[in-house]
């Protein structure tokens, strides 16, 4: 069993393959956190916590004479506001009498087989009996309010999922102003914060910071997880590296505004509180109602970032992505955006498709500009009707010609947005988020539809379900090209406007659920101006996400590197684009562009007709090479082979088959130097006693040699040179 309870000690212990998570119920009913770290069967970790009288650390009424007992320095599982713990709270609410307080005590628990589910929210799911669930109920001492803490234990994956339910058992409404998904106290040790910041076209850049005696916050207030601060964070020991050291991961399964607070208190205990952002949030919880927080995935590694990453990769692969495409080969696609932007016709698209098909591409994706009066980004959003001036006869003639070429068809949509210059807005101006009597803030000259409204979602569902029913479409790219602002819904009363930010994301999930469930044969790709909504919540519905609007191969090295800490490579949309690159003006070789793009969902984004014949031949070779290694890229373990401090010189990474049968070693030199030292990297995941042949040569090496001594690359010259080496076990 992965969940244990001892009635004698009142200890609750969660076990995974390599970690232990423990809490206890003290004599007053406080649920204390005792330990989270390396697995230690049979241990009672209560001994770690000693109590002393600390100045200005208040005492509960029943322990008023025990000045060493204070919530303010006790490790806890879930903390309420205004009840004696002055550190960052997990819960803040207002009772009917106007008071702010939540004194939470243990009221019972239940252990279940399988994994809990969350109504209206994406969450990890059980597959093949892999999980157990613990539900701990806490009760407020002065009201009928209950808090249910959910723990889903995936033992073999070393992941614990957490979520919270707030239940109003009283006769009056309660207002929730903050409700975190999880609170984790780490009472001892020195720790640092690794988070993933960035901007549009440069997402998820690792930044490692020491923790001082303060509160460090990683957050997005943009209505999406954002280009700027990904919700995934790592708390790690100062000596943690790729293959050594302790680290804790925190990954919210949430696509809206988020907030993770990491506080180091005066006694050097670290508290992590994570979940959705409470900015502009106020939820009216009526009697008898429940409120569920999004889920957060916790994972611990004593063997550095690499193991932590693979734990998350497997969790997402097997228990987050629900698409039927998980575990199956993906089509090699070509997207017309960087080739044509919105200036295209059926014949111009087919001209690109014919060349792509001749080189071996499987899927043609038509991007923005196919609908309404859409010639620029100033008009047409919301009018999801084919523009027959560009596409005479609609989509059918285009799709028919593509089928003759042996290609499938995909399409771009942006459901959540509308232009004022659209028939939809002219008919329903009340359907946008907009504060009364104020001019709106524009982004890309578009406004945000009110996804809290059922009529808006029904309209969108009608448009896109009709599109998918009437046309042979196998791929949909779902985009979102601005941040959310002017948060106000015409469909809700004043007292419920604080619910709009949360309900907006629930509305997005509702529409995604309806469409992905009705059309399971369609591969949905997420996008938000590239990687502005790259999170586990979206991956539940869309098993791949366009990683960044920056297609420059050298920039993509850093973007895909940072993304890989939490998210598997097979979820990253990656394309070979034209050079000079449209975002940076940089020129890199076709080979290097291919090496980088192969480490994601491989495709092209350019007009192949404009390539030289030698480049077209190289594209054909790339496609053949990709098909050869695609099962390894999709199913293998991913390893980063250089540390953060090496990234200015080169990037090296590897895919290794889980049975040790083969490995693909990739290297790109980002800064070629005169008389440079040779680059040597140690491979991972091989069979030590086996021999491996370097594909395309007669060279053989032992697995032990490649993992211990490594592989030394020859001197590489020129602009951004690269190598891709496949090692195959000799049977």
> Rounded distance, CA 562 to CA 556, Å?
10
Task: Given CATH 3.20.20.70, say whether it is the number of domain 333-635.
Answer: yes
> Rounded distance, CA 463 to CA 307, Å?
44
Q: Are 319 and 154 in contact (CB under 8 A)?
A: yes
> Rounded distance, CA 313 to CA 195, Å?
17
Burial 629-664 (b: 16+ CB within 10 A, else e): bbebbbebbbbbbbebeebeebbbbbbbbeebbbbb
Mean pLDDT by 10 residues, the chain (731 residues): 95 98 96 98 95 92 91 95 95 96 96 97 92 98 96 98 98 98 97 98 98 97 98 98 98 98 96 97 98 98 98 97 93 96 97 98 98 97 98 98 98 98 98 96 96 98 98 98 97 98 98 98 98 98 98 98 98 97 97 97 96 96 96 97 88 98 98 94 98 97 98 96 98 80
Distances (CA, A) of 634 to 45, 569, 628: 40, 8, 12
Catalytic pick from 535, 558, 637, 662?
Answer: 535
- Report the sign of the C-alpha dihedral through residues 219, 260, 526, 459, in that order: negative
> Rounded distance, CA 417 to CA 478, Å?
11
Q: Are 162 and 275 in contact (CB under 8 A)?
A: no
Residue 144: Cβ within 10 Å count: 14
Of 334, 293, 295, nearest in space to 315 by CA:
295
Q: Is residue 617 flagged as an active site residue?
A: no
Q: How confident is the model at residue 14, as a pLDDT?
A: 98
Extended strands (E) in 350-454: 363-366, 408-413, 417-418, 447-448
For the chain, the structural domain boundaries read: 3-319, 333-635, 640-729
Q: Are 69 and 88 in contact (CB under 8 A)?
A: no
> Rounded distance, CA 454 to CA 457, Å?
5
Burial 607-620 (b: 16+ CB within 10 A, else e): bbeebeeeebebbe
Q: Give the architecture (CATH level 2) of 3-319.
A: Distorted Sandwich (2.70)
Residue 322: Cβ within 10 Å count: 17
Q: How confident is the model at residue 295, as a pLDDT?
A: 98
Q: Is residue 615 flagged as an active site residue?
A: yes
Q: How confident is the model at residue 112, as a pLDDT?
A: 96
Q: How confident is the model at residue 337, as a pLDDT?
A: 96
Q: How confident is the model at residue 646, as a pLDDT?
A: 80
Q: Using N-to-C axis directions, what is the helix angle for 454-470 and 500-518, rounded to 10°? A: 20
Catalytic pick from 126, 177, 192, 615?
Answer: 615
> Rounded distance, CA 52 to CA 36, Å?
23
Q: Do β-strands 650-656 and 202-210 pair in parallel, antiparallel, or remain unpaired? A: unpaired
Please name the residue ranges forming H helices in 2-88. none
At the top level of CATH, the class of 640-729 is: mainly beta
């Amino acid at each position: 069993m992965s969940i244990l309870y001892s009635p004698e000690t009142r200890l609750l212990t969660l076990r995974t393959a390599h970690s232990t998570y423990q809490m206890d119920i003290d004599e007053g009913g406080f649920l204390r956190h005792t330990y989270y770290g390396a697995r230690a069967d049979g241990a009672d970790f209560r001994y770690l916590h000693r109590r002393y009288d600390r100045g200005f650390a208040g005492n509960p009424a029943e322990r008023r004479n025990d000045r060493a007992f204070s919530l303010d320095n006790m490790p806890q599982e879930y903390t309420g506001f205004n009840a004696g713990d002055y550190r960052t709270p997990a819960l803040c609410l207002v009772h009917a009498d106007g008071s702010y307080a939540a004194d939470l005590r243990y009221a019972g628990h239940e252990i279940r087989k399988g994994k809990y589910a969350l109504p209206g929210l994406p969450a990890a799911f059980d597959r093949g009996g892999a999980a157990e669930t613990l539900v701990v109920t806490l009760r407020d001492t002065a009201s009928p309010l209950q808090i249910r803490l959910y723990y889903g234990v995936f033992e073999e994956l070393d992941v614990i999922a957490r979520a919270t339910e707030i239940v109003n058992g009283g006769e009056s409404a309660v207002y929730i102003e903050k409700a975190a998904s999880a609170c984790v106290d780490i009472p001892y040790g020195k720790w640092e914060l690794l988070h993933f910041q960035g901007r549009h076209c440069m997402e998820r850049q690792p930044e490692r910071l020491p923790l001082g005696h303060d509160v460090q916050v990683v957050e997005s207030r943009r209505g999406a997880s954002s280009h700027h601060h990904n919700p995934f964070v790592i708390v790690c020991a100062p000596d943690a590296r790729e293959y050594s050291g302790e680290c804790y991961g925190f990954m919210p399964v949430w696509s809206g505004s988020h907030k993770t607070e990491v506080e180091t208190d005066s006694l050097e205990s670290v508290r992590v509180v994570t979940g959705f952002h409470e900015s502009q949030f106020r939820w009216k919880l009526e009697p008898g109602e429940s409120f569920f927080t999004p889920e957060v995935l916790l994972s611990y590694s004593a063997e550095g970032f690499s193991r932590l990453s693979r734990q998350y990769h497997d969790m997402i692969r097997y228990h987050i992505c629900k698409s039927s495409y998980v575990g199956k080969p993906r089509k090699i696609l070509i997207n017309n955006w960087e080739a044509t932007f919105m200036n295209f016709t059926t014949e111009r698209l087919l001209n690109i498709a014919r060349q792509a098909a001749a080189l071996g591409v499987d899927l043609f994706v038509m991007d923005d500009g196919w609908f309404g009066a859409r010639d620029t980004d100033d008009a047409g959003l919301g009018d999801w009707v084919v523009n027959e001036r560009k596409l005479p006869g609609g989509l059918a003639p285009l799709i028919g010609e593509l089928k003759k070429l042996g290609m499938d068809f995909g399409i771009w949509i942006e459901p959540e947005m509308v232009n004022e210059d659209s028939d939809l807005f002219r008919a329903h101006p009340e359907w946008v988020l907009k504060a009364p009597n104020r001019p709106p803030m524009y982004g890309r000259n578009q406004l945000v539809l009110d996804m809290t409204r059922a009529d808006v979602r029904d309209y969108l569902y009608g448009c896109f379900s009709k599109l998918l029913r009437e046309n042979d479409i196998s791929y949909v790219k779902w985009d979102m090209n601005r941040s959310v602002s002017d948060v106000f819904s015409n469909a809700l009363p004043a007292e419920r406007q604080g619910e709009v930010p949360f309900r907006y994301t629930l509305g997005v999930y509702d529409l995604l659920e309806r469409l992905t469930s009705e059309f399971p044969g369609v591969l949905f790709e997420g996008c938000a101006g590239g990687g502005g909504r790259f999170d586990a919540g979206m991956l539940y519905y869309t098993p791949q996400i366009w990683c960044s609007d920056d297609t420059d191969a050298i920039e993509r090295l850093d973007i895909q590197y940072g993304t890989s800490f939490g998210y598997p490579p097979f979820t990253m949309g990656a394309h070979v684009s034209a050079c000079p690159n449209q975002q940076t003006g940089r020129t890199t070789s076709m080979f290097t562009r291919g090496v980088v793009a192969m480490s994601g969902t491989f495709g092209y984004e350019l007009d192949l007709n404009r390539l030289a014949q030698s480049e077209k031949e190289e594209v054909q070779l790339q496609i053949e090479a990709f098909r050869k290694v695609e099962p390894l890229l999709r199913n293998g373990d991913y390893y980063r082979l250089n540390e953060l401090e090496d990234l200015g010189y080169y990037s090296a990474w590897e895919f290794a088959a889980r049975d040790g049968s083969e490995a693909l070693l990739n290297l790109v030199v980002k800064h070629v130097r005169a008389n440079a030292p040779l680059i040597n990297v140690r491979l991972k995941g091989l069979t030590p006693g086996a021999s491996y042949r370097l594909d395309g040569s007669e060279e053989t090496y032992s697995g032990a040699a490649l993992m211990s001594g490594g592989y030394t690359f020859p001197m590489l010259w020129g602009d951004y040179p690269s190598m891709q080496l496949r090692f195959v076990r000799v049977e």
